[in-house]
Amino acid sequence: MKNIKVKRTVILLGILVSFLLLFGCSEEEDYQLVQESRFALGTYNQVTVYAPSEEEGQDIMDAVFTRVNEIENLMSINVEDSDISKLNEKAGESSVTVDPETFHLLDLGKEYKELTDGTFNIGIGTLIQLWDIGGDDQQVPEEAEIGSLLNHTDLNQLILNEDSYEARIEDPEMIVDLGGIAKGYAVDQAVQVIKNHGVEHAIVDFGGDVYVLGGNPDGNDWRIGISTPEIGESGVVGRLFSSDMSVVSSGDYERYFIENDQLYHHIIDPSTGHPTDNELSSVTVISDSALEGDILSTAMFVMGLEDGLDFVNDLEGVEAVLITKSKEVYLTTGVSDLFEIMDEEYTLAD
Ligand code: FAD
Ligand code: MG
């Protein structure tokens, strides 16, 4: 089951990026296109750079993935001695001193829980573990168990001391999980590494969290395919024209299992403890940072169409494409001229 899903992700991402390369760029003599995909953060991470030479391109790849591994080793709940594993292990017992980077994301997690009215909550780790969607123990849990774990998701129980970078969880039964935030952060950090090497045109795509650096070398915007949010489909609903932006999607079609004809996916509504169930099938957020896009796409997915649109319309510099299960596409004003539908089964909503 797990293997099948991993394969699917690869195909999906493959299409997204080949789409980019096919339509997005022309061969330029001054650049060497270097592309590599490596597995980390539980997904395939593809990096495409227009480097001065093949050799420099390879150096950049090594530097990028070294950085990604650093982040994974600090923040993964699946790495035994990561900051997050230590923090969770000591819940109810004592503080742990974490790396400033981990501290920063924990702090942002608390801040965004407030900003998103609780729809984004890094404190729902016990529920994520219970469902284990995409993992070896995925299951539909007992209602009573979900109900009891809902009492252990209060982020006020996560205490942060910014002078000493100490963090502690008061509630011994609470678990913090950065799965909905650290991938976006890793994308931004990868982009920083690439910029530090003087590269002006690049695409970073970590399991659907994308950043396009610069425009494409032919002088136009990149054209980014927004994946069809349907199980078993691998096409694109439309394309988005963008430069120097992150484009991050969350949806119910990537990490899931089906039992008794019912779809159970990985975006949990913290108010119910169940996979989010509303009219949306995907949310794509276009913003300056993939970190913010990662958080907001998940939050808006939980909020649903109307609340999600209201929420994003109040945010400066953040745009979104929301796709419903009935195949309607909603755009915020700032992207209405930058998005083009390509699959005629989908229609633009007013
Ligand atoms: P998003 O919508 O951005 O995030 C959904 C993920 O966030 C869920 O999978 C869950 O982890 C969490 N989440 C769910 N609901 C909420 C909510 N309401 N509020 C806040 N968070 C929520 N996968 C593996 O299979 N094996 C690994 O070893 C592994 N290691 C990882 C290590 C790190 C550091 C990170 C960042 C991710 C890792 N992953 C791993 C992948 C991870 O489990 C998610 O699949 C991935 O981060 C989800 O990204 P997304 O953009 O698809 O979905
Ligand atoms: Mg995300």
Domain ranges of the chain: 4-71+187-290
Q: Is the CB of 268 under 6 A from ligand 1?
A: yes
Q: Which ligand 1 atom sits nearest the alpha carbon of residue 302?
A: 18
Give residue 166's pLDDT.
98
Beta bridge partners of 329: 323, 348
pLDDT band at 12 (very low <50, low <70, confident <90, very high): very low
The reply, when asked if residue 66 is annotated as ligand binding, is no
Contact 178, 75 (CB under 8 A): yes
Give residue 29's pLDDT.
54
pLDDT band at 3 (very low <50, low <70, confident <90, very high): very low
| Secondary element (H or E) of residue 3 | helix 2-24
State the DSSP code for 157: G
Say if residue 26's pLDDT is above 80: no
What would the two tokens of residue 26 be? 């022309």
**Ligand 2 centroid from CA 184, angstroms:** 7
Q: Is the CB of 293 under 6 A from ligand 1?
A: no
Instruction: For 143-202, write each residue's pLDDT tens digit.
Output: 999 999 999 999 999 999 999 999 999 999 999 999 999 999 999 999 999 999 999 999
Say if residue 6's pLDDT is above 50: no
Exposure letters 44-60 (e unless 16+ CB within 10 A, then b): bbbbbbbbeeeebbeeb
Exposure letters 103-124 (e unless 16+ CB within 10 A, then b): bebbebbbebbebbebbbbbbb
Share of the chain above pLDDT 90, in %: 87
Say if residue 96's pLDDT is above 50: yes
Quickly tell me which residue has 């395919």 as its tokens: 225
Contact 225, 249 (CB under 8 A): no
Instruction: For 28-38, write each residue's pLDDT tens digit.
Output: 457 899 999 99
- For the CA of 105, the nearest ligand: 1
Instruction: For 266-275, write each residue's pLDDT tens digit.
Output: 999 999 999 9
Long-range CB pairs of 93-99 (<8 Å, 24+ gap) are 93/172, 94/168, 95/159, 95/161, 95/166, 95/167, 95/168, 96/166, 96/167, 96/168, 97/164, 97/165, 97/166, 97/167, 98/74, 98/165, 98/166, 98/167, 99/74, 99/165
Which of 6-20, 208-222, 296-310, 325-339 is least confident? 6-20
Instruction: For 324-334, write each residue's pLDDT tens digit.
Output: 999 999 999 99
Instruction: For 279-291, write each residue's pLDDT tens digit.
Output: 999 999 999 999 9
**Ligand 2 centroid from CA 207, angstroms:** 9
Say if residue 313's pLDDT is above 60: yes
Share of the chain above pLDDT 70, in %: 92
* Average model confidence (pLDDT) across the chain: 92
Instruction: For 131-144, write each residue's pLDDT tens digit.
Output: 999 999 999 999 99
Nearest CA to ligand 1 atom 49: 180
Q: pTM, whole model, 2 decimals?
A: 0.93
**Ligand 1 centroid from CA 239, angstroms:** 25
Instruction: For 235-249, write each residue's pLDDT tens digit.
Output: 999 999 999 999 999
6: exposed, middle or buried (C-beta count within 10 Å: 0-12, 13-18, 19+)? Answer: middle
Long-range CB pairs of 63-67 (<8 Å, 24+ gap) are 63/193, 63/197, 64/190, 64/193, 64/194, 64/204, 65/38, 65/40, 67/186, 67/189, 67/190, 67/193
Give residue 16's pLDDT.
54
**Ligand 1 centroid from CA 340, angstroms:** 29
- For the CA of 124, the nearest ligand: 1
**Alpha-carbon span 168 to 188, nearest angstrom:** 27
> What is the CATH T-level fold of the domain 4-71+187-290, as seen in this structure?
T-fold (3.10.520)
The reply, when asked if residue 294 is annotated as ligand binding, is yes
